[in-house]
Structure 1
Amino acid sequence: MSPVLPPPQQFLVAAPLGTRVVVRYQIEGGLTDALGELVGRTGGLCTVRTRRADVVIPLALVVAAKAIPPAPPRRAARQPRP
């Protein structure tokens, strides 16, 4: 019988890779969030690809997680006024 996981961990284990997610997890001194694409799950860890880097998060430290809609398209750079 597999262990019963709390809902946020259940979501991360079941979500298809490539899902855009936000994950809130514990760090020393508080909590932080990782927002990006779920790209991996192995041995009690999940990996979220953010804009800056891949963030490897121990599932035991996750306190909340959910799927979010795709990022809006980036706006074009502003053109200087003539």
Structure 2
Amino acid sequence: MTPDPANLLRGLQPGVRVVVRYRIDGGFTDALGTLSAIGADRCTVSTRRGDVVIAYPLVTAAKTVPPPPPRRQARARPL
């Protein structure tokens, strides 16, 4: 039996990196970022574009993910 993704989120500590798939009008979308708040009926994921507040009944999948890879340095421009 697959664990309930909302229960997985409720059991995590803030600061964990997660990806959450949830329902929106017309389909589904994902939020990838740091779990910043866990409430009784919703959680908040801090993404590159800002905070995303997700109600647990809309969550269809969730999992923890490893930290992002380090950013590459800019290439040197030829002279």
Query: Normalising by the residue count of structure 2, what TM-score does the alignment of the two structures yield?
Result: 0.92
Q: Give the share of equivalent positions with the same residue, in percent.
A: 55
Query: Matched residue pairs, number?
Result: 77
SS of equivalent residue, structure 2 residue 37:
strand
**Structure 1 residue corresponding to 2:48, chosen from 42, 48, 51:** 51
SS of equivalent residue, structure 1 residue 9:
helix
C-alpha distance in structure 2 between counterparts of 1:16 and 1:42, whole Å: 11
Q: Does 1:64 align with 2:61?
A: yes
| Structure 1 residue runs without a partner (length 5+) | 1-5
Query: Normalising by the residue count of structure 1, what TM-score does the alignment of the two structures yield?
Result: 0.89
C-alpha distance in structure 1 between counterparts of 2:17 and 2:39, whole Å: 18
List 4+ stretches of structure 1 deviating above 6 A.
Answer: none
CA-based RMSD of the aligned residues comes to 1.0
**1:20 corresponds to which letter in structure 2?**
R
